[in-house]
Structure 1
Amino acid sequence: MTQIDPIALFRLSVLGPLISRPLQRGEFQQTLRELAGRTYAIPGSRRTRLSDKTIAGWYYLWRKDGIDALSPRPRRDQGQSKLAAGIQETILHLKRENPRRSLLQILQALESTGQVSRGTVSRSAIHRLLQRHGLSRPAGAASEPEEKRSFVAACAGAIWYGDVMHGPQISLHGKRRKVYLVSLMDDASRLITHSAFCLGETALDIEGVLKQALLKRGVPYKLVVDNGAAYRSGSLQGICARLGVVLLYCRPYTPESKGKIERWHRTFRAQFLSELDLRRIRDLDDLNARLWAWLEQVYHQRPHGGLEGLTPLLRYQQDLPRVRSLGPQAAQLDALFYHRETRRVRKDGTVSYLGQFFEVAYALAGKTVILVVDAHAGRVVAVESAAGEDLGRATPLEREANAHRQRHQPNSTDTAVADANDRTSLVEIAHQQYYGEEKA
């Protein structure tokens, strides 16, 4: 019996609600929208969403030719190139000459030398040609294979890994919300220094987990993370710099760079998510409470095959004298995680942050200031100038209290005298010049 293509089986499973029963009028589009709103483990892809047009296209293919039509169709021009023979030779020469040349660099070389007109050759065409000749990257067949060796850090705290895993959907305030598991792992001990389910995978979520890990497990010397925008945020880079942590980024398409935490994700799915009863989960705090209990009672207490039979907790405790503590910085840890936001003070002496208004010194009205904010608590801590000078506090705006507050008014008498002395009058100037009087 011929084996059915796994991708065809996946597509058929997606179509299940559309083909399992006759649909009533208008039900097709409604079901399409529901299917497009779900998340999927798509074979051979890191994406988790499908568009309604894609699902509809699969549906009509299935209606016409059954499950065989759901198998991926090879390109008709596979193994061929529409590029001119001379252009093909130039592309292959450029790649062999320097195997690290990217598709964009090759394309720029062709366009800058006038061999092709701008916009007439696509990078995908170049990629297919290189792939057919075994020269495409990241496969790396054009150069010597990169040496990769198994290693372990010398001691706990030497290297931490950070990563995000897509989690399940839970019900929050009557709505289904997807959660993300943000985790930090110690290389030498495999200990999870901290982990938490979050509603996103932003820099703020990652910083929140890092802050708790620092409080519980000390300060690492190196932190290895993904290349994503959240990890490249200026706030995270600043935190690591102030703590003396070297922040390292994995090269794209090299998941083996942090294989230990990737392997832990597999363990987590098999041992935690498979046993999790989502019907018992009331909110995000409830889910995290179960996560933390499982980490401390199960994962950290279980002998690990890569630790010569030791548990992650025991292996970590062996190196406690070598773990770098926060020391005096512990008292200033909140300040290390403060963000800075640029704002222009309104005419009424207020600034906005996260949809709320705060009052600052009225003398700052119309000026640009830096708000020092505790992003995790959603509050403004202080106001600074661009040079870091303290400009006072920011307090929540109380409009009702302001209705009864005595406002500062300039001294009217002083103002009148000043105006009289400073006023420029052509008549007075002529009088002074004609009679030789000097202005008092």
Structure 2
Amino acid sequence: MTAFSADELRHFDRVAQELREAPRGQKGQIVARAAQFLSCSKDRVYRGLKATGWNAQRQRRRDRGASQVSRGEAATVASIMRQSTRDSGKRLLSVDDALEIALANPASGVTTRASADTYTRVMREHGLHPDQVSRPTPHTQMRSEHSNHVHQFDVSVCVLYYLDQGGLAVMDAKRFYKNKPENAAKVVNQRVLRYLITDHYSGAFYLEYFLAAGEDQETLFEFLMHAWPERGHPHDPFHGVPQMMVWDAGSANQSHLIRNLLDQLQVVHWAHTPGQPRSKGQVERTHDLIERGFEGRLSLMKVESLEALNAAAHTWMRHFNATKIHTRTRTTRYGLWQTIRPAQLRLCPPRELCEQLLRTKPEPRKVRSDLTISYAIKGFDSATYSVADLPGVRVGETVIVTVNPYRAPNVFVALEEDGEQIECRPLERDTAGFYLDSPAFGVNYAAKPDTDVDANRKAMDKAAYGVETQQEVDKARSKRQTPFNGEIDPISYLSADTLPAYMARRGTPLDVAKAAPVALAPLKHIDALKHLRSRLGRPLSAEESDRVKARYPDGVPEEQLDDLVSWLADSSRTSSPVALAR
């Protein structure tokens, strides 16, 4: 607020009185004379007059707020300026340059020749100015419900890099900056990367440094196997697998192995939109805290190895998490994390099982007739699981099996991927190899529950015979009753169909005379004697048998049996034996 002396205020009072009494057209001269007398600007005179309570009572212009520059023209000029802006935010074209380009190109649609200030004013009035459109979009504050509900992960470059002769050195800003890319390229394979994970609820974090040229899935897996299991330090309580992971869309994060591991661990992983680091602003802010709070100390110490760097970082990390007050929670990070409940703290499975989960996919298994499946998990013996409680399970069809990493060797079983799951535990056996939950003879009996296929089969049978129970179905079948009361005729409709008439085809007669005669194999002697005994109605004597064999040494032709019967009958009626001709 402008300050005026007492003498100035008294003079302004007199000038105000003159202005009230002055005729139209002379007020400007009175103000100019006062400005000359006080050796100040007209604006200062008007401010002084306003301080004394004077009001010019000027009528506002009817076209105030209107402009000859349209919104579309201002938008075109603003767009030209925006398109010339670099990713770093540096604007290359000024309003004057953009306006000059727009007026020189009729295709732009800009025809109004006004000053750059006018265009700037119209841009700001309509929210089109590059300063306005480059501001961040409104964002929503997200919250997490408890410790280990959401973890945020990110990787950044440490200020250190490995020296060829051993040890670590700080990256000097004079050597490593944007205008000296060749220096950064020399140590690209010697850079030290900072891997960081934070708990969104409490702010607790775990960091570790790795020597790598860039992010890769092997290093990420190694870091997670250090961050999520218990580390065994009495002053480092932060551990456990989160329910959700928020990170960027880096190649390592989105690799099949890592995504498969998180899926098996039942971790929802969400990659934020590129160019929106605010989505994981907590971990970005923690990077800054580490750079200033820990890495700022590295210039005062000599770091000989990566192990020594991580040891120092973990010492600082535990002290920071345990003592520094978080501005949002008004308590320490470890202190708030300790409020986690047992059901919310999911313990990380052993490393060996996690290595298997990297490559494990949901596997199909065929359901056996006793509603069981077999499945083997690395580190455990092959086991049998009952799937009788799975809704919709069917004998002979497949189910999808995945490992429960938190209760192995238990497994999850579903009819299809992303379907309803049930948890199954291995069936235990006794010393004889029988399942412990199987019914025992003479003690109890329990049939397997009907599957939907069993229910459908029984329902169809009852409907076919028009009965209510399975016993009535069995009784009807035993009496050979016709299903559907014989109302379904499977044949009559066939004769009702009109079949095509076929043209008779000419054939070739078969010459039977030329056909090769069919020779029957002679009967063996024993078979021939049986036929003869049957036809004669009496057993043959030893002499008669010898005569038959002598007459037919290679077997008796079947067509000769009738002659032999007559010959033997005649010879038996004679009183003396007749010798057969040889």
TM class, shorter-length? 0.3 to 0.5
Q: TM-score when scaled to structure 2?
A: 0.34
**Over alpha carbons, which structure has the higher Rg?**
2
Instruction: Specify which structure has the higher proportion of strand.
Output: 1
